[in-house]
Structure 1
Amino acid sequence: MLQQEAFYTLALLQVEGIGDILAKRLIQNCGSAETVFQSKATSLAKIDGITKRVLKNLQDTSIFQKAERELNFIAKEKIKILQSQDENYPEKLKHCSDAPLVLFQSGNIDISNKKIISIVGTRQITSYGTSATQKLIEDIAPLNPIIVSGFAYGVDIVAHQTAMQNNLQTIGVLAHGLNQIYPKTHKRYIPKMEENGGFLTEFWSSSQPDRENFVKRNRIVAGMSEATIVIESAEKGGSLITAQIANDYNRDVFAVPGRTTDKYSQGCNNLIKTQRAHLLHSAADLIYILNWNLKMKTEKPIQKQLFIELNNEEQKVYDYLHKKDKDMIDNIALECELPVFKLSSILLNMELKGIVQPLPGKVYKLI
């Protein structure tokens, strides 16, 4: 988006009473965001949704100051702005009436690949959910899909991690501006994700990760994807909202079934029982329903590396954990004679290689 049009588009979104839908309608009628501000009130008043109050708010000069501040932040942080008409705006999201007019992007995202799927679920992921997520992504890796999720605890971060381990592009859709990260403990994953993928958000740098923002975020997760997969969910949860939105957008929804006695399988089982989701038993179900088997690449499948090379420090940590199975980071640092700040980086690399797994309480164990 050109700098001048970006400025007026951001200013338009700051007008009280104008949301994404009305802003798109104004731009469509006037030809550009800049022209909206240049148009006469009598002309704008003829557009559906424009009230006297909105016309008055369009005269508020403070909106331009806010737009300028945000553009300065965007330039400083080298963030890309995607408008809904732009070629690199997610194609499927363009067809959702309530899609954001503007998305902010960081990293190296290439959405020309049509195979985009969202993987969502509980933040309280179990070993069953972890295995299901990892196995699914590993099995579809040869088709080179883009893995989208919300960068939250649980299913989200496991999906992002597994995608990175399989050299797949992965995108985190955030419920706040790109000036921060939530949860803070996931900050360590940012550099690796931005190498092949990155982050999208509709929220400005002044936005906080408020509760309602996560619900708004879910429509982007569902809308930009060909299918949404729910790995684990309790009877109520945010992932079920994402599944409902995906259904409303006429997207395919899949759910991994579980035992009727398992708390975090109740949501998935209910989706399947009420025919709001396809039963996902294996990657073959996904490939068949989405008709991917007719579009598979001829390249050889990516095989998981059996013998991973470790440097001296990684080997020292591996040997210690091999004896202990798992331990707190402070104990590992002490026994391996490594500073905690350096050990954190080592453990992250080992985590991305699929060697160690972080547990609550700053505990790490071998996989």
Structure 2
Amino acid sequence: MQSSDLQYVLALQHIPNLGDASAKKLIRFAGSPEAVFKEKLSSLLKIDGIGKIKLQELQDPQHLKAAEKELLFIEKNRVECFYFKEEEYPEKLKHCLDGPILLFQKGRVDLKQKKIISIVGTRNATNHGISFCEELVERLAPLDPVIVSGFAYGIDITAQRAALKNDLQTIGCLAHGLNQIYPKVHNRYVREIEENGGFLTDFWSTDVFDRNNFLKRNRIIAGISEATVVIESAEKGGSLVTADIANSYNREVFAVPGRPGDSQSKGCNMLIKSQQAHVLTDAADLVYILNWQLDEKLKPVQKQLFVELEEEEQKLYGYLKENGKEQLDLIALNCSIPTFKAATLLLNMELKGVVRPLPGKLFEAV
């Protein structure tokens, strides 16, 4: 996008109370961001949901002046900009009505042909939550997913550090401009994340950190992902908001259950109880629901000699050896093992290199 065009997009973003959904309506009606500012107000008033108060702001020259200043910051700091009508804009976010008209990026973000999940949770994570999060990312690593989170304390940064540890791309969605980092203690992770993913935001360099920005930030976390995982949440919290947004986008939501009395499990238990999230007790639950298949070209699992199999794993392996390719549901039925448990066992066996998944939820012995 040329600088002149970008300035008009920025100017639209700068108008208070306009909102991304309304801005998209204006752009589609006028044909371009620049045309919006040159169109007659009488014509724009014909657009459903666009009122006089919003349109009066278009006449204020301060928005183009502010956009010019932000454009200088973008060019000076080599910030990449993704316009919602361009190919580089995250594909899944394009289908979100309130997705930002302009997204700013630093780093090496690559979302093409990628499995993308967001992992969020409480800032006051327990040792159990941290351990589960680290193990989940490690177990998913052979499928090479992109791990998205909010770069916050607790579960968020745990998920992103686990992604780096397992050589996975990770993206931090920020609730402020790219000229700052919150929390400051996480500055130590910035360079490594930028080299193995990066940061996304729709906030300007003039937008200081404000907790009220979290809601706006959370729609990006939910929007660019095909699934959102909640690991530990109190009865109220930002993670539940992200889950709610993900549900509104018709994305899959997973929650890790906990004991009824645990304060940091109340939110997850509520999501499961109200059927707003799938139960997640193992990486295999997510793999099964999303119908992910391991691409052996990415990270092949080498078959080990003298692999030790648990009793139920041996039962599944023997069945597949005798019957050849078979669907998960039939494997579970004929082996008298619950489907969710069979999925977990088969993923364990896949990582041991003794079975491989096939399209159509089929499995075969190696």
Change (3 A) 1:182 1:302: farther
Opposite residue 147 of structure 2, the aligned amino acid is: I
Give the secondary structure class of the aligned counterpart of 1:228: strand
Opposite residue 296 of structure 2, the aligned amino acid is: K
Give the secondary structure class of the aligned counterpart of 1:152: coil
Aligned residue number for residue 34 of structure 2: 34
Shift of residue 43, structure 1, vs aligned partner: 2.2
Aligned residue number for residue 77 of structure 2: 77
Shift of residue 268, structure 1, vs aligned partner: 1.1
Opposite residue 251 of structure 2, the aligned amino acid is: R
> Could you tell me whether the CA contact under 8 Å between 1:150 and 1:221 is conserved in 2?
yes
Shift of residue 136, structure 1, vs aligned partner: 0.6
**Deviation per residue, 1:196-217 (Å, 9 max, x gap):** 1000001111112212100111
Residue 4 of structure 2 is aligned to residue 4 of structure 1: yes
Aligned residue number for residue 296 of structure 2: 297
Aligned residue number for residue 321 of structure 1: none
Shift of residue 76, structure 1, vs aligned partner: 1.0
Unaligned runs of 5+ in 2: 303-366
Cα distance in 2, alignment partners of residues 246 and 6 from structure 1: 29
Aligned residue number for residue 209 of structure 2: 209
Cα distance in 1, alignment partners of residues 165 and 301 from structure 2: 11
Cα distance in 1, alignment partners of residues 98 and 34 from structure 2: 22
Normalising by structure 2, we get a TM-score of: 0.80
Shift of residue 21, structure 1, vs aligned partner: 1.0
Cα distance in 1, alignment partners of residues 159 and 38 from structure 2: 46
Opposite residue 297 of structure 1, the aligned amino acid is: E
Cα distance in 2, alignment partners of residues 68 and 11 from structure 1: 8
Give the secondary structure class of the aligned counterpart of 2:96: coil
Opposite residue 200 of structure 2, the aligned amino acid is: L
> Could you tell me whether the CA contact under 8 Å between 1:120 and 1:150 is conserved in 2?
yes
Unaligned runs of 5+ in 1: 304-367
Select between 173-182 and 45-54 the one with higher mean Cα deviation. Answer: 45-54
Change (3 A) 1:17 1:157: closer
Opposite residue 149 of structure 1, the aligned amino acid is: S
Aligned residue number for residue 179 of structure 1: 179
Give the secondary structure class of the aligned counterpart of 2:87: coil
Aligned residue number for residue 268 of structure 1: 268
Question: Aligned pairs, how many?
Answer: 302
| CA RMSD, Structure 1 to Structure 2 (Å) | 1.5
Opposite residue 267 of structure 1, the aligned amino acid is: G
Change (3 A) 1:210 1:302: farther
Shift of residue 261, structure 1, vs aligned partner: 2.4
1:234-273 paired onto structure 2 within 5 Å: 234-273=234-273
Shift of residue 19, structure 1, vs aligned partner: 1.7
Cα distance in 1, alignment partners of residues 128 and 160 from structure 2: 17
Cα distance in 2, alignment partners of residues 301 and 162 from structure 1: 20
Normalising by structure 1, we get a TM-score of: 0.79
Cα distance in 1, alignment partners of residues 114 and 108 from structure 2: 16
Cα distance in 2, alignment partners of residues 215 and 302 from structure 1: 40
> Could you tell me whether the CA contact under 8 Å between 2:143 and 2:299 is conserved in 1?
no
